[in-house]
A and B are shown apart, each in its own frame.
Chain A
Amino acid sequence: MEFTLKTFIFYGFALMTVASALIVVTVRNIVHAAFSLMVTLFGVAGLYVFLQADFLAATQVIVYVGGILVLILFGVMMTSERFDMPIQVKGHIERGQLLLGGVIALALLMLLLTVIANTPAWKNLTDDGTELPPTTERIGELILNGPFLLPFEVVSVLLLVALIGAALISRKEVRD
């Protein structure tokens, strides 16, 4: 494979993603894990750019880093008395649990490897000069004028239900 600037930057992003993801699962301080997750999500956004999915990359940053990660940190900081407590596994782990967890992890690994192997756009890493139309247009066509219209509407109704539910739960009880 030709080693160009693009491949160099790509491996930079890949290294960033994998290394910070390793830190997320190994570090004992949960706040450090959350901030490391930020780097992971940024790295994944960078990989989306290499897949020529610019809209998805920005969405990744805006939704996961700007929204969900902030919610995670809020949850960590507000629900626990001592949020800087180190994470540790206490007590004995059953062999059955270990086996089940291993099987699920292996299945997930196989699934992800299949997806990676079958993603054709990685080939664009080395060939240059091909310009694709903006992804926003295609995404809009597919969602609002194509096969994904029904799932899109169902998801939006689901989100509305979740929103109303959240408002109902968090609302103060009115006593009369």
Chain B
Amino acid sequence: MSDFRAMLAGFPYFNISENFFPNLRLQDGRNWAEEFIQNVVIPRLPEAVASHFPVEIGTVLVMFACAGVFVGVVPLLPLVLVLAERKVSARFQNRTGPMRVGPWGILQTLADGVKLIFKEDFIPPQGDKLLFLLAPYIIFACSFAVFAAIPFSEGILVSDFNIGIFYIMAISSVIVMGVIMAGWSSNSKWSLLGSLRSAAQIVSYEIPLGLSILTVVMLVESLSMQEIVASQSNGVFSWLIFRTPFAFIAFFIFFISSIAEVNRTPFDLPEAESEIVAGFHTEYSGMRFALFFIAEYANMFAVSAIAVTLFLGGWEGVLPGYDILGGFPGFVIKSMGLVFLMMWLRWTLPRLRVDQLMNLCWKYFIPIAFFNILGTGIWGLIFPEDTVISTSISCAIIYIGLIAAYKVAGRGLAQRPAPQPNF
């Protein structure tokens, strides 16, 4: 099975043609929902009904159904990821993790979900009730709106905007507002401190994130997610990460900044348990807390999926012409690999201090990201077309750079005095 489409084609009402799903371009007069009604639904209806079929209402219903599929399916992702995180952390700490509920504890998250549903929905009496109730929905909605532009496969994509990646950045920048709203309306100092920390961190790290995305956009010359994927269709060496040495650096800046964006260790100051309890969602309980939790894990998958789309070939396979690590399964495997990397980092590294966090962003990442943009421009002038020569030179530079970095870092570690026990 290379694609869901092959599977869905077996059903008469899901006969999906080649160019059926994409193209909800903002500037199109018609969108795919309308086309679905016109081409799929109406020809199957009886004559008398078809002539009076309300296309407009049908279009809206199809759009709602599509959104419903996303809202129904995407929460299953956190269900898996939460269990994966607990199992991974257990392995890193030489434990077994949850084992009681179901075989190997695979039903643990479901049990936790049921527990959260039955918990008391506490609203702080001194807080701002309206904003308190509204905040989880803003974060939840924005986290899920990002999924609308992520191309899971050639056909599995809600809409291929002209401005795909820019839309994702815009929508995910709104999450900050939800965080501030939650922190302020809780009327608790931990919440407020956590939300201000979170907002400062997200706003700061958005800059290197955007600049490293710009590196990709300069290479592809398009903001559309499908076109970014299409430019990486010639096997592993046409993936943008290997296209220029600057994109290689940009990938790491993008990935580390994304970890900071989703507030995970080593950048989890907004949720530092030892300092501010649980950060901006301290006062939330029950289902509202679960919404934050789902949004956090959905975000984690979303940023990994975006990193895969931008740098690691998206749903394109490793070899040109073969479907190895390509299509929908390949995309999910690659994204899950990055998610695992995030978990690995989380359970390995200690938390940064605030000044270290801001120094890393403003003094290292932003200058390097600007240097990347300059370098990508010069690279584009030297190699206007992506050829075998340019890719070979790029890979050679990356290889030499990695070895040099290894040598330098290794020497630095060797020169450092061995840690003395301090009793």
Q: Is B353 an interface residue (CB 8 A)?
A: no
Asked if B192 contacts A77 (CB within 8 A), the reply is yes
Q: A52-B26, A130-B29 are in contact. Are A70 and B169 (CB under 8 A)?
A: no
Q: Is A58 an interface residue (CB 8 A)?
A: yes
Interface majority SS (helix, strand, loop, mixed), chain A? helix
| Interface-lining segment among B1-9, B160-168, B265-273, B305-313 | B160-168
Q: Is B60 an interface residue (CB 8 A)?
A: yes
Partner of B170, one of A5, A61, A128, A136: A61
Q: A54-B26, A74-B196 are in contact. Are A66 and B173 (CB under 8 A)?
A: yes
Q: Is A21 an interface residue (CB 8 A)?
A: no
In the bound complex, residues from chain A placing their C-beta under 8 Å from that of B167 are: 58
CB distance from B224 to the nearest CB of A (A): 8
Q: A5-B59, A132-B27 are in contact. Are A58 and B166 (CB under 8 A)?
A: yes
Q: Is B206 an interface residue (CB 8 A)?
A: yes
Asked if A136 contacts B163 (CB within 8 A), the reply is yes
Q: A70-B177, A70-B203 are in contact. Are A55 and B163 (CB under 8 A)?
A: yes
Asked if A38 contacts B196 (CB within 8 A), the reply is no
In the bound complex, residues from chain A placing their C-beta under 8 Å from that of B319 are: none
Q: Is A62 an interface residue (CB 8 A)?
A: yes
Digit string of A43-71 for contact with B (CB within 8 Å is 1, else 0)? 00000010010110111011001110110
CB distance from B326 to the nearest CB of A (A): 27
Chain A interface size band reads: 20 to 34
Partner of B173, one of A57, A62, A131, A136: A62
In the bound complex, residues from chain B placing their C-beta under 8 Å from that of A129 are: 29-30
CB distance from A51 to the nearest CB of B (A): 11
Asked if A38 contacts B177 (CB within 8 A), the reply is yes
Which chain A residue has the least Cβ–Cβ distance from B29? A128
Q: Is B342 an interface residue (CB 8 A)?
A: no
Q: A70-B199, A74-B196 are in contact. Are A54 and B180 (CB under 8 A)?
A: no
Asked if A128 contacts B30 (CB within 8 A), the reply is yes
Query: In chain B, residues 143-169, which have Cβ atoms closer than 8 Å to a Cβ of chain A?
Result: 161-163, 166-167, 169
Asked if A136 contacts B177 (CB within 8 A), the reply is no
Chain B interface size band reads: 20 to 34
Q: Is B223 an interface residue (CB 8 A)?
A: yes
CB distance from B105 to the nearest CB of A (A): 39
Digit string of B3-37 for contact with A (CB within 8 Å is 1, else 0)? 00000000000000000000001111110000000
A65–B30 Cα distance when bound, in Å, is 29
A112–B162 Cα distance when bound, in Å, is 29
In the bound complex, residues from chain B placing their C-beta under 8 Å from that of A59 are: 166, 170
Q: Is A102 an interface residue (CB 8 A)?
A: no
Which residues does B use to contact A, with CB under 8 Å?
25-30, 56, 59-60, 128, 131, 161-163, 166-167, 169-171, 173-174, 176-177, 180-181, 184, 192, 196, 199-200, 203, 206, 223
Which residues does A use to contact B, with CB under 8 Å?
4-5, 31-32, 35, 38, 49, 52, 54-55, 57-59, 61-62, 65-67, 69-70, 73-74, 77-78, 127-132, 134-136
A-B contact pairs, 30 of them (CB 8 A): A5-B59, A31-B184, A32-B128, A35-B177, A38-B177, A52-B27, A54-B27, A55-B166, A59-B166, A61-B170, A62-B170, A62-B173, A66-B173, A66-B174, A66-B176, A66-B177, A66-B206, A67-B173, A70-B180, A70-B199, A70-B203, A74-B200, A78-B196, A129-B30, A130-B29, A131-B27, A131-B28, A132-B27, A134-B163, A136-B162
